[in-house]
């Protein structure tokens, strides 16, 4: 009997945690559903906000799916995938981060009963991918283009896209005010793809309506020295010199040793230092520039020198602000003040230093190149302004996307209901199990309008039945109908200007399906233990502990015997 017993093979290190099979897959699905439930209530114009405070005591109030997912600090390995898709949606399109997490969670929820019944996950994955491709084709077919319109028309259409995005945010009450501001900012930067060309400066105090857009650059007054108050604070059409050099009186600091045979020579060395700085300052003044900005310090000697000559100067300007001033005014940052020609100087219509709240701001208005804009945000609490900035970032991204890919679809759950109807119809033409899987995918898409109703306190079943009936009309006139947040019924989203760029929906469906398929394809999780001995050996190896005999490693006091 003993001879027949198989020897036990130990493959993985002791303490390795492995879980596999159907139970593992269901556990992963449950974890993802739990994550989706966290952000579920933030969807739509009536969505609630989340208050997250971390171990450092920082408090964040946010409605933005990606921000919440980042701050949640999720440790479940499968649920982390949902964090990644929210981040990718945020960086790719800017909005729809809650949508993408909700969809992925719902796809998995719909797949769960099939998995429990013993369906092989690969069959589900295949059907989901097919359904995803069909859904994306349908979105493209339903999208309307806003190309070829005049600038005024285009502005109002883009403002409607921005207003749809902002309606679900904390600043939704002022969405028209901010939507037009965002559109002006995006049009100001034109075809420049760099997002940092739109600066957002936050100044606590005042109310939201005190926020304003600068058609150029604005930044907080920098550290200033004696003599600064004597400088003029307003210029019309000034020349602007941008530097990356220190204008300070510097003594030799590298322990330079100078041997003198005669004490009278000492004065000539001191004079040489003064001459160097005065030479630099003279060249700045001779260039004709009325505003001198530098990334490095401008000392008190230089500040007083410029004040005597009616020149404004600011030192220690941040790299980002200096680059934006360069892009806006057409100047070039100089690393030397020799041979400063007119071509490297920038200009703007009006420069002034202005009080905003309790801060002084340097504002460059009417810049010739028109590739930058700055939004100065006002508001009460710091957390409120932070959230307003995140909301504006979403709106800016959406308007940029809508300008590049100028196709929009109806929002308010309309597009989701239409795709759902289309997929249900398509499923009937398929024989075999995949008919059921595609049907469940179609059902999952209804989570968006359902959640919009739930968050607004409406009867979701009632509204969804009305929507299904409207979308099932053979004429196809019901396609743009979505949830009417104001009345609790249904309305034509397209006619009510509840629009979103088609690229948002396409990206969301794609990313959510990818994530769901990825999680469904995992059937085992292996967690390796980090034992002390393993780490010890690795440290000894890293220090060359496997070299010649008699080596004693410093790390963790290991010794080679």
461: left (phi over 0), alpha (psi -120 to 50) or beta: alpha
- Please, which residues have CB within 8 angstroms of residue 259's CB and are 6 or more apart in sequence? none
Q: What is the pTM of this model?
A: 0.74
Architecture in CATH for domain 17-145+410-521: Orthogonal Bundle (1.10)
Q: Where do the H-state alpha helices sit in 195-237?
A: none
Give which of 521, 410, 448, 434 is closest to 138, Cα–Cα.
410
pLDDT by residue for the chain (561 residues), tens only, comes to 455 556 666 666 665 556 677 888 888 889 899 988 988 888 878 888 888 888 888 888 888 878 888 888 888 888 888 888 888 888 887 778 888 999 999 999 999 999 889 888 899 999 999 999 999 999 988 888 877 666 777 777 778 778 877 777 777 777 888 888 888 888 877 766 667 778 888 888 878 888 888 888 888 888 878 777 777 788 888 888 888 888 777 654 556 677 778 777 778 777 777 888 888 888 888 888 888 888 888 888 888 888 888 888 888 888 888 888 888 888 888 887 777 777 788 888 888 888 887 888 888 887 776 678 888 888 877 878 888 888 888 888 878 777 777 788 888 888 999 999 999 999 999 888 889 999 999 999 999 989 989 888 888 899 899 888 888 888 778 788 888 888 878 888 888 778 788 888 999 999 999 999 999 888 877 777 765 444 444 444 444 444 444 444 444 444 444
- Domain boundaries of the chain, sorted by first residue: 17-145+410-521, 151-207+383-405, 217-252+270-369
CATH 3.40.50.300 holds for 151-207+383-405:
no
Fold of the 217-252+270-369 domain: GroEL (3.50.7)
Residues marked as catalytic? 64, 97-98, 394
Give which of 510, 502, 403, 459 is closest to 187, Cα–Cα.
403
3-state secondary structure 405-443: CCEEEECCCHHHHHHHHHHHHHHCCCCCCHHHHHHHHHH
CA distance 57 to 48: 22
Beta bridge partners of residue 347, listed in sequence order: 239
CA distance 169 to 202: 17
């Amino acid at each position: 009997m003993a001879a027949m017993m198989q020897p036990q093979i130990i493959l993985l290190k002791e303490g390795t945690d492995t879980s596999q099979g159907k139970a593992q897959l269901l556990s992963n699905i449950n974890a993802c559903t739990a994550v989706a439930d966290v952000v579920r209530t933030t969807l739509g114009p009536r969505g609630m906000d989340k208050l997250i405070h971390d171990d450092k005591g920082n408090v964040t109030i946010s409605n933005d799916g990606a921000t919440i997912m980042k701050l949640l600090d999720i440790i479940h390995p499968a649920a982390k995938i949902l964090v990644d898709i929210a981040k990718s949606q945020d960086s790719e399109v800017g909005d729809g981060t809650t949508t993408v997490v909700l969809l992925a969670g719902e796809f998995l929820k719909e797949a769960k009963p099939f998995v429990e019944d013993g369906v092989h996950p690969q069959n589900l994955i295949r059907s989901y991918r097919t359904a995803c491709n069909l859904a994306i084709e349908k979105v493209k077919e339903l999208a309307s283009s806003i190309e070829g319109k005049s600038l005024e028309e285009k502005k109002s259409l883009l403002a409607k896209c921005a207003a749809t995005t902002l309606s679900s945010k904390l600043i939704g009450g002022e969405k028209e005010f901010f939507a037009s501001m965002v559109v002006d900012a995006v049009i100001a930067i034109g075809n420049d793809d760099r997002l940092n060309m739109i600066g957002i400066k936050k100044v606590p105090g005042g109310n939201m309506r005190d926020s304003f857009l600068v058609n150029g650059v604005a930044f907080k007054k920098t550290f200033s020295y004696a003599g600064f108050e004597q400088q003029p604070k307003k210029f019309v059409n000034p020349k602007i010199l941008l530097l990356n050099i220190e204008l300070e009186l510097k003594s030799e600091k590298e322990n330079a040793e100078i041997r003198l045979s005669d004490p009278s020579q000492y004065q000539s060395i001191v004079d040489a230092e003064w001459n160097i700085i005065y030479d630099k300052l003279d060249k700045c003044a001779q260039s004709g520039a009325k505003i001198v900005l530098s990334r490095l310090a401008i000392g008190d000697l230089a500040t007083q020198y410029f004040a005597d000559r009616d020149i404004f100067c600011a030192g220690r300007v941040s790299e980002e602000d200096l680059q934006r001033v360069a892009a806006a005014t057409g100047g070039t940052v100089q690393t030397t003040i020799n041979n400063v020609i007119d071509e490297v100087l920038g200009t703007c219509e009006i420069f002034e230093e202005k009080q905003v709240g309790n801060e002084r701001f340097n504002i460059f208005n009417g810049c010739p190149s028109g590739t930058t804009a700055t939004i100065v945000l006002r508001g009460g609490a710091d957390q409120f302004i932070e959230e307003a900035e995140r909301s504006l970032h979403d709106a800016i991204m959406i308007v940029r996307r809508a300008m590049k890919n100028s196709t929009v679809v109806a929002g308010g759950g309309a597009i989701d209901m239409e795709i759902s109807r289309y997929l249900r119809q398509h499923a009937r033409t398929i024989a075999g199990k995949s008919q059921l899987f595609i049907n469940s995918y179609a059902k999952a898409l209804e989570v968006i309008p359902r959640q919009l109703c739930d968050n607004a306190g409406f009867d979701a079943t009632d509204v969804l039945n009305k929507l299904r009936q409207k979308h099932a009309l053979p004429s196809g006139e019901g396609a743009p109908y979505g949830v009417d947040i104001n009345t609790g019924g249904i309305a034509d989203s397209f006619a009510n200007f509840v629009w979103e760029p088609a690229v948002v929906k396409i990206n969301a469906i794609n990313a959510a399906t990818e994530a769901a398929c990825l999680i469904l394809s995992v059937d085992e999780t292996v967690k390796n233990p980090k034992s002390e001995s393993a780490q010890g050996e690795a440290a000894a190896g890293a220090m060359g502990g496997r070299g010649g005999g008699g080596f004693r490693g410093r790390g963790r006091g290991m010794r080679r015997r």
